[in-house]
Amino acid sequence: MSKSPVKRTRKKRYDWPPPVAPEDAYVVKQKNPIHSVLTALPVIMLVVGLYFYYQAESAQSEGSPIRAQSKTLQGIFTGLSVVQSGAEGRHYLWVTVNDKPRGVRIQPHHAEQLDTLPRNTQLNLKVAPTVQGSRTVWAWYIEQNGQALIDDEALLQ
């Protein structure tokens, strides 16, 4: 047997994958904790704001009207509206009181009852907030021509 004319090497012929050159390598820089907090701050503020908004809206819609803060209004019915928020939305009954439009919150099932109510008719309302000190008032009694359309006096607290 004859020897091969190719000389044997003692080390590997090549490295695969080839090594990354030091100038091309990405080195993680030291993170500044202040930068991390400032970057996350808008998201934190949004989450906290949404939490407080939905907490207040939940207290409004799930509460009962406060008898001690109840008021009587007389006005001209101008229409109903809904703001799509949450599952059922926020429903408003619009009346003109002393030549100023006024939106009064109503429950979604009341909106279905009042949908056929003719516009530009006189209404007598009893309204009250559901949260102490709130400017948002809810109609708990609605009367037209001496006939009670809605009477939720049993729900008053």
Phi-psi region of 133 (alpha: psi -120 to 50; beta: other; left: phi over 0): left
Q: Give dist(CA 156, CA 138) in Å, integer.
A: 11
- Residue 101 phi/psi, 5-degree rounding, is -70, 140
Q: What single DSSP character describes residue 4?
A: P
> What is the token pair recorded at 17?
């994958």
pLDDT for the residue numbered 96:
92
Whole-structure pTM value: 0.69
Q: What single DSSP character describes residue 69?
A: G
pLDDT for the residue numbered 43:
95
CB 114 within 8 A of CB 106: yes
pLDDT for the residue numbered 1:
62
- Residue 94 phi/psi, 5-degree rounding, is -105, 125
CB 67 within 8 A of CB 128: yes
- The DSSP result for 100-156, as a single string, is EEEEEEE-HHHHHHHTTPPSS-EEEEEEE-SSTT-S--EEEEEEETTEEEEE-GGG-
CB 108 within 8 A of CB 88: yes
Element (H or E) spanning 59, and its range? helix 33-62
User: For every one of its 157 residues, what pLDDT tens digit does the chain have, with 9 covering 90 and above?
Assistant: 677 788 777 777 777 888 888 888 887 778 888 988 899 999 999 999 999 988 988 888 888 888 888 899 999 999 999 888 777 788 999 999 999 999 999 988 888 888 888 898 999 999 999 888 888 899 999 998 888 888 888 777 7
Q: Give dist(CA 82, CA 90) in Å, integer.
A: 5
